Structure 1
Amino acid sequence: MPRIVEPLSDDELGNIVDLLKKGEALPEDYRFRLFASCHKSELIWPGKNNNICKAELPFQAIEHIDTPKLNQLHNTNQSKSTWANKIIWGENKLVLSSLQSGHLRREIEAIGGIKLVYIDPPFDVGADFSMPIEIGDQESFIKKPSIIEEIAYRDTWGKGVDSYLTMIYERLRLIESLLASDGSIYVHCDYRLSGVMRLVLDEIFGESNFVNQITWKSAVGDTSAKNSKYIKSHDDIFYYRKNKDEYIWNDIFQDYSDSSIKQYKYEDEHGRYSYVPIDNPGGGGYTYDLGYGEKQPKGGYRMPVETARKWIEEGILLLEQGKVPRKKKYINDEGVRCQDIWSDISGSFRKEYPTQKPEGLLERIILASSNQGDLIADFFCGSGTTLAAAEKLGRKWIGCDLSRFAIHTSRKRLINLQVALDSKKKKYNAFEILNLGHYDRQYYMGIDPALPKDEKNSQARLKENEYLNLIHRAYKSEPLHNMAPFHGFKSETNHAVYIGSLDSPVTMSEIEDIISTAPKYSFNKVDVLGFEFEMGLNPDMQDKAKEKNVNLVLRYIPRDVFDKRAIEKGQVVFYDVSYVEAKINKIDDTVSVELIDFGVFYRQEDIEFVAHTLKSGGSKVIVDQGQVIKLTKTRGGGLEHETLTNSWTDWIDYWSVDFDYESLQDHLSGNNIFENQWQNFRTKNNRKINIESEKFKYSKPGNYKVAIKIIDIFGHDTTKVFDIHIDTKR
């Protein structure tokens, strides 16, 4: 019966006005009487907001990866006309919002839409997302999450469950709008959030679209609290459909338990079987005589006579004079239909990523709620387990993550899978890596990327000072005026500062202008800051600067600058641009690439601080000024340093080559897409890295660009491009 809501009296209306003027809270009952939309049960928390992100930012393809087909340039028309799976690096709220419309949405709809989403958002309020990183083929050290990852996690858990719900509520609403009409979603969480997560999902997808709450016996949990509570040993997975009457479902089977198998103790030529009753235990069943002198069940039969006669013909109804009939039930070779308690998939396995789940878990979900060729998505993809399971099962996929390291981990995993599938003559899809490029930076600065070019440029000019001041605060430099092209000065180091554009790389011509102008102001040390740098700037331009007595330092502006909390706490770190030296080995129309040197200049922790916190006899591996160092405090209080990076190759985790870098362009930006034609990388089982590529044979003469991409042990990439000319073979 609908609730009758009494209208507010004049006195109550006056009371509301008085309370609002005083800035005081309204009585809770007024909410239900003021707003008709509140006449339903819903979960309310501080910070809940029905507004969702509406950013529409263009995606940019930056890398295309297929199983290497050395000595054969790819057919670029084919890669443009067929679906390529996608790993998207970026904040998933912006990614989800940007998927709502535009070219990629049309591409998704053209292949049937997103049929299945699995997400495993971070639900451990005390999680430590540091992870071990192996150095070359020797020791490992702990990689800390980037500041942008830490801040994203703070945003999620800063106010406990309230801020988590705010984060997940917006993303679930965006996901719901992206799902195909027959799509499904599985949301993974644990006891901390299961109660509230069910209510949030009910609100967004509708209670009637709830299907299952799956209990996965993930592992034996914390056993330290002895004699005080039950041991936590499971996660929950909520399964909802977009429409209860339109969905994809394929029966999934589990193996029989040992106790179940023991019940099938009889056997005939058709296999093992047991007997099952056919009476109607509640009474009021069917009554009839089958004519074999059988005894009628006390409560009658549970099936009509037609079914009974059919079973007799099939030989599965046992009839004996004076006894109640029994039905044979044969053991099913496929197993028993899958239940909502999963204890047959182990959560104990070697993880390469903190929140990694076993592939078997994802395979079961994908098989049940999608068909071959369907599109699967995971917007917290981590190490790429969902993507790998989807690829193995012949599904298309989209993955997204904020972590650069997660993107790199997924890339290596999926390349390995491509090679494995190809070696078994099994089909696979190429995949590409996308990001939001400079558009997400514009968004963070309040510039609307969707505006026409002239309007956007006008808005960017108005925001320029705000942008420069933001970088100055993060870099701890002071602005300079009327000293173009320089923007500031860092008193701490006596370096002039040049700040690159928000939405384009620092170019060769900008560097040349800096070098030629620096002596005019007596600047002999200049820090050049940029989000991106034109390929090939370092170290050649630095050598050119030294000829003019200018010490040039190129540093990346990290995405962390867009969070004022990171700036206020002094957590923003500007890393020096890595450099790579390589040579092209060319014989006639055949080319290989050989690495000569690779330099990085990272710093993760302060040596003095770590030394101070170390206990006597303790040790810790840290990164300082481009070296991985093991610090050990002796029993006498002294400090021993051991450098673990013995060679420049120790920094390289992965490298790849595009032998025809201009052959494939992004259709929106027009930028070249790095087409991965050969690669070599370290794995858990093989820590060696080759420094020379395989040989590539060109099919025709001409001018080509050869690009190499190196990804270091932190997941950061460095690219260099060479120009070559191929003559007709002599």
Structure 2
Amino acid sequence: MLIPAHAAGAGLARVFFGKKINPPKGRHWAYTQENIDKLIAQNKIELTSNGTPSIRHYLEDTKGAAVQSIWTDVIPLNPVATERTGYDTQKPEALLERIIKCSSNEGDFVADFFSGSGTTLAVAEKLNRRWIGCELGKVGIQVTRARLVESEAKPFLIENIGNYQREMIYLTGGRIYEMQNLILKLYGATPRDKMSGLGVRKAVDTPLTPPPLYQEGLGVCEGKGVCEELVYVGYPDRPVTAGKAEELALQAQKLDGRGYKRLVILGWDYEYNYQQSLEARKKALKDKLEVEIISRDIPPDIYDYLKKAKTDEDIEALSEKVKFYERPYLKMNEPKVKDLKNDKVEISLSIKRYVLMDIPVSQTSKKGQEDYAALMKIAKDNFAVLIDYWAIDWDYDGFTFKSQWQAFRGNGKKAKTVTTEAKEILDKKSRAIAVRVVDIFGNDAGAVIEIS
């Protein structure tokens, strides 16, 4: 903006741009000749249309007033806001934009250790900041991941390391093996002496009909009645790997001189591509593995139950409330590769099957039972209704999953299901393609496809 260069009171002429100019009648120039020369050198003096010198005043030249601690000009999210995710404590992006802009520069790190729906991370991404987010809730992680993928964020990595649970155990004077034994008991298993993390559970044999793909051809315990299964509880600070599962299964075949037909793994987290890697390991074995492997997730709120499990009576009562859901299974069709001109290929991928072994819907009420039955029927007819979104990294490096393609389900009860097919034109070369599927309950499954 331009402001007058003169003030009240008569005064003498000054030199502007090599020419003497008198101030308006009854006014004087507000600057000495020395300061006028400096302002001209800084390109801060301009002649108006009538030839009167004026000062160019920029916003940064104004100190302004400090922002107060109460902000009333940021409008709360309304029910139909386009940025709304449905997360209860979601904050407006405008609020985080102001905070991030006034406290960081482009390229700086922004950290939110209670990231919730990921508003801080989404805004930091838009403002070209690097970011780190932490969240315990599975729903929050799911919402944040979908939000970042939908906004076409740069590649990011999700680490689920469980250190919070481990630290809480240590802080309360507990030990990992004590925690493992408690979880075994909550699952209904009896811990084994001198074998940390292992227990035995008597289970009623209830094979699935039809069996999931990865169990085809395997016996299920004794085929009927009650059987004993070997149960393993993983460590909270590391994922269960396919190699560990294979090692446990081979051990289960010979343990106690008679072996076990079923191995149940309770894990805090599993390595990426766990199920596919396990299948490959089983096929590579010289002798057929005669152990059914069931992999289940330890619920994220398990620590709340561990705090309450003081006596055997407590454990027995709590064991009916703790749910260890079986991990979903993803099966991809063989990719289709079509040669094109200029060393290009068109690669088509499609999901063959997505199986959710356990649907986390409470069946303690009649309505819950009806909802469960209805969802099971729908899922049986069309597995795509279970998928919230899925993403593809067309050039997977074996470490960082980059969401280069994604498909989402719609919103609302009558929303369309996601497409189960994807196509991309790529350079003709050998590559690994990674797929990640997230279902409507927050579970995820992955697969890696090799193209030679």
Aligned AA (2:307): R
The answer on 1:673 being equivalent to 2:400 is yes
Aligned in 2, Cα 1:566/1:605: closer, same or farther, shift over 3 Å? farther
Aligned in 2, Cα 1:441/1:506: closer, same or farther, shift over 3 Å? farther
The answer on 1:709 being equivalent to 2:412 is no
TM-score of the superposition, structure 2-length normalised? 0.62
Matched with 1:414 is 148
Alignment root-mean-square deviation, CA: 4.6
Note if contact 1:480-1:487 (Cα within 8 Å) is conserved in structure 2.
yes
The answer on 1:536 being equivalent to 2:279 is no
Tell me the distance in 2 between the aligned counterparts of 1:375 and 1:309: 51
Aligned AA (1:469): N
Aligned AA (2:143): T
Percent sequence identity over matched residues? Answer: 26
Aligned in 2, Cα 1:575/1:289: closer, same or farther, shift over 3 Å? closer
Aligned in 2, Cα 1:653/1:695: closer, same or farther, shift over 3 Å? same
Structure 2 SS opposite 1:673: coil
Gaps of 5+ in 2: 12-26, 37-44, 46-56, 205-225, 340-344
The structural deviation recorded for 1:441 is: 5.7
Aligned AA (1:401): E
The structural deviation recorded for 1:489 is: 1.8
1:366-394 Cα deviation digits (max 9, x unpaired) = 33333333332222221121222223233
The structural deviation recorded for 1:580 is: 0.9
The answer on 1:397 being equivalent to 2:156 is no
Matched with 2:324 is 574
Tell me the distance in 1 between the aligned counterparts of 2:275 and 2:360: 26
The answer on 1:719 being equivalent to 2:443 is no
Aligned in 2, Cα 1:602/1:623: closer, same or farther, shift over 3 Å? farther
Aligned in 2, Cα 1:514/1:381: closer, same or farther, shift over 3 Å? same
Matched with 2:429 is 700
Q: 2:418 aligns with which of 689, 696, 700?
A: 689
Matched with 1:54 is none
Gaps of 5+ in 1: 1-268, 272-287, 293-307, 315-329, 419-428, 448-461, 612-618, 630-641, 665-671
Aligned in 2, Cα 1:644/1:549: closer, same or farther, shift over 3 Å? closer
Matched with 1:594 is 350
The structural deviation recorded for 1:415 is: 2.4
Tell me the distance in 2 between the aligned counterparts of 1:596 and 1:575: 22
Structure 2 SS opposite 1:558: coil
Structure 2 SS opposite 1:405: helix
Tell me the distance in 1 between the aligned counterparts of 2:450 and 2:359: 33
Instruction: Show the 5 A alignment for 1:154-553.
Output: 290=9, 340=68, 341-350=70-79, 351-352=84-85, 353-418=87-152, 430-435=154-159, 437=161, 443=167, 446=170, 465-480=177-192, 487-490=199-202, 494-502=227-235, 503=238, 504-507=240-243, 509-510=246-247, 512-513=249-250, 516-517=253-254, 521=258, 523-531=260-268, 532=270, 534-536=274-276, 552-553=293-294
Structure 2 SS opposite 1:360: helix
Structure 2 SS opposite 1:690: coil
Tell me the distance in 2 between the aligned counterparts of 1:591 and 1:525: 39
Structure 2 SS opposite 1:407: helix
Note if contact 2:74-2:94 (Cα within 8 Å) is conserved in structure 1.
yes
Structure 2 SS opposite 1:554: strand
Aligned in 2, Cα 1:494/1:623: closer, same or farther, shift over 3 Å? farther
Structure 2 SS opposite 1:367: helix
Note if contact 2:346-2:426 (Cα within 8 Å) is conserved in structure 1.
yes
Structure 2 SS opposite 1:344: coil
Tell me the distance in 1 between the aligned counterparts of 2:380 and 2:122: 32
Tell me the distance in 2 between the aligned counterparts of 1:490 and 1:309: 100
Matched with 1:558 is 299
1:288-317 Cα deviation digits (max 9, x unpaired) = 99479xxxxxxxxxxxxxxx9567999xxx
Note if contact 1:376-1:398 (Cα within 8 Å) is conserved in structure 2.
yes
The structural deviation recorded for 1:538 is: 7.0
Tell me the distance in 1 between the aligned counterparts of 2:101 and 2:129: 10
Note if contact 1:555-1:577 (Cα within 8 Å) is conserved in structure 2.
yes
Note if contact 2:137-2:300 (Cα within 8 Å) is conserved in structure 1.
no
Structure 2 SS opposite 1:536: helix
Matched with 1:652 is 387
